[in-house]
Structure 1
C-alpha cells in the first residue's frame, strides 16, 4: 500500500515538473512565435485580401472585384505556359541535381583521405550569390567574348546559347545545377556519415558486391535523407528567379519565363498586385502539395 502511495506521489511531482517546464518554455518561445506570426501570417492574409481587389485605380483605396483576378489569371494562356516551363525547369533540374549530388556524395564518402578538402572545394558554388551565378553564366555564354560560347564554336555547336529559344532553358537549368547540386551532396553525405557500420559489415559477410550493397543497403537507409534534400531544393527552385532575371530576363520569346518570374513581372513591372497575389497563392498551394508529397513518402519509408 505504501509503495502505491509513493508511486502516485512521484507521478504527481513529475507531472508538476513537466507542466512547469512546459510553461517556462512556452513563455520563452512566445516572443519569437509572435514575431513569426507577424512576418508570415499577416502577409499571407493580406495576399488573400489582395487577390480579390483591383489596385489599378488606387493603391491606397483598391476596389473589390471578387473573383475577377482569379478568372483573369486562370484564363490567361501565359499563366499555364509559365507553369509548363516551370515543371520542365524543376523536373529536369531536380533529377540532374539528385543523380550528380548523390553520386558525388558516394564518391566523397568512399575517399580514403582528403574528404574535407574535396567537400570544401565542391561546396564553393553554394556560397556564390544567385545574382552572381546569373552574371557568370551570362558573361561565359556571351556570343562576343564568352569563353563557353567560344568553346562551343570550336566544336561546331550552337552559339548564342542564351539568345536561342531551344537552348536558353537548358542553359538556365545547368546554371542552377552547378550552383545547388553541392547542397544535395552535403545533405546526402551527412546521411551517409550517420549510417551504422553493422548493415554494411553484414552485407560483406554475405558476399555482396558494391552494387548490391548500394542498391539493397545504402540507398534504402539514406532514402529519407535524399527526400529531405529534394524537399529543400524543390521549394527553393520554385521561387528563385535571380539567374533568370540576370541571364535572360525571361526570354527569348518567353522561353525561360517560369511562374516565379511571371509573378515578379506582373506584380512589380505591370503593378498588377491583384493578379500577382493570385499567382503567389497558386505557387504557395503547389509548394504545400510538394511538401505533403515528400512528407508522406518519408512516413511511408518509416
Structure 2
C-alpha cells in the first residue's frame, strides 16, 4: 500500500492563500479609510496654501495697488520692474552677505558649542536649557533689546565699545549697521544649530569612537574622520532650516534700522515688506515674493542633493 502523498508538497497551502487574500483586502480597506480620514485636512491645506500661491501668480501680472479701483492686467511689467531695479539686485547682494556671514558664524559656534556640551561630564541638561533661552525671544524683542544695548547714550554694549575707542552710533553708521544685525541674528539662532547638532552627536554609535581611541587617535583625528562624517547630514539639515528662514529676516531690521542707513541693511525680505506696505504696490510685491520662493526652492534642492551625495 502506497503512502499518502504530502499535501503540503503537492499543492499550494490553501490556508496561506486565504490569509494573503485577507491581508490584501484588509490593507486596501485600511488605505481607503486613511485616505477618507485625511481628505478633510488635505482640502483645508490646499485651500490655505495652493489657492494663495495661484492668486500670488495672478497678482504678479496685474496692476494691483490700493490707489487702483480695479486691478488691470499689465502683462509682464511688474517682472520687468523688478529685474530692472537696482534696489532689487542690491537687496539680494546684501541678503547674500548677511546669509553667508550669519550662517558661517552660526555653524562654527553651533558645532563648537555642541561638541563642548557633548563632552561635558556634568551639568549638560542645565547648560542646554540656559543656552536655549534666546530661541524663546521673539525677533521683535531681539531688535528692541539690541537697539537698547547699542544706544550710544545709555547702551551697555555701546559703553564697552567706547572704552575700546569706538565712538559711533552703531545703527546709524553704514560700516557698523550690518555687522550689528548679523551678530544679533547669530545670538538668537546659534542655539538652534547647537541643539540640532547635539542631537546628531548623541545619536552617534559609540563603537567607531571606541575603536579610534584604542588605535590612539587624538581628538582632531576623531573629529575629522569620524564625528563630522557621522553628523554631516544633521549639520546640513540645520543649515537648510536656517538658510530658508534667513531670507525672510525682516523683524529685527524693521525695529533697528528700517533698511538704513543708506539702504545698507535693506535685505530682500525688507525690500518686499517696503514695496508691499509702504509703497502699496502689491503686484510688484507679488513678483518679488515669487523670486524669493524660487530661490528658496533652489536652496532646498541644493541641500537635498548634498545630503543625497553624503549618503552615496
8 A Cα contact 2:62 2:73, kept in partner: yes
- Are 1:245 and 2:254 counterparts? yes
Deviation at 1:6, TM superposition (A): 3.9
Q: Distance in 2 between matches of 1:28 and 1:120?
A: 38
Query: What corresponds to 1:267 in structure 2?
Result: 276
Name the SS for the 1:239 alignment partner: coil
Residues 26-52 of structure 1, C-alpha deviation per residue, up to 9 Å, x if partnerless?
A: 122212211111111111111100000
Q: Distance in 1 between matches of 2:103 and 2:40?
A: 37
Query: How many residues in Structure 1 have an aligned counterpart in Structure 2?
Result: 302
Q: Residues 16 and 119 of structure 1: is their aligned pair in 2 closer, same or farther, counting only changes over 3 Å?
A: same
Q: Distance in 1 between matches of 2:104 and 2:17?
A: 57
Query: What corresponds to 2:117 in structure 1?
Result: 108
8 A Cα contact 2:134 2:188, kept in partner: yes
- Are 1:63 and 2:72 counterparts? yes
Query: What corresponds to 2:48 in structure 1?
Result: 39
Paired residue for 1:217, among 212, 218, 226? 226
Q: Distance in 1 between matches of 2:15 and 2:167?
A: 83
- Are 1:172 and 2:184 counterparts? no
Unaligned runs of 5+ residues in structure 2 are 1-9
Aligned pairs (5 A) from 1:7-156: 7-56=16-65, 61-156=70-165
Q: Distance in 2 between matches of 1:98 and 1:68?
A: 40
TM-score by length of 1: 0.97
Paired residue for 2:212, among 203, 213, 221? 203
Query: What corresponds to 1:257 in structure 2?
Result: 266
Paired residue for 2:294, among 281, 285, 298? 285
Q: Distance in 2 between matches of 1:23 and 1:206?
A: 56
Query: What corresponds to 1:231 in structure 2?
Result: 240
Q: Distance in 2 between matches of 1:281 and 1:75?
A: 16
Q: Distance in 1 between matches of 2:49 and 2:89?
A: 27
Paired residue for 1:294, among 294, 300, 303? 303
Q: Residues 255 and 58 of structure 1: is their aligned pair in 2 closer, same or farther, counting only changes over 3 Å?
A: closer
Deviation at 1:159, TM superposition (A): 2.5
Q: Distance in 1 between matches of 2:11 and 2:210?
A: 52
The more displaced of 179-188 and 17-26 is 17-26
Q: Residues 168 and 57 of structure 1: is their aligned pair in 2 closer, same or farther, counting only changes over 3 Å?
A: closer
Residues 183-242 of structure 1, C-alpha deviation per residue, up to 9 Å, x if partnerless?
A: 010111111111111111111122211111111001100101000000111111111210
Query: What corresponds to 1:159 in structure 2?
Result: 168
Note the aligned Cα RMSD (angstroms): 1.3
Q: Distance in 2 between matches of 1:158 and 1:5?
A: 90
8 A Cα contact 2:105 2:186, kept in partner: yes
Query: What corresponds to 2:5 in structure 1?
Result: none
Name the SS for the 1:79 alignment partner: helix
Name the SS for the 2:296 alignment partner: helix
Q: Distance in 2 between matches of 1:197 and 1:4?
A: 47
Deviation at 1:11, TM superposition (A): 2.7
User: Quick check: which has more Rg, 1 or 2?
Assistant: 2
Q: Distance in 2 between matches of 1:264 and 1:212?
A: 47
Q: Distance in 1 between matches of 2:30 and 2:69?
A: 47
The more displaced of 46-55 and 25-34 is 25-34
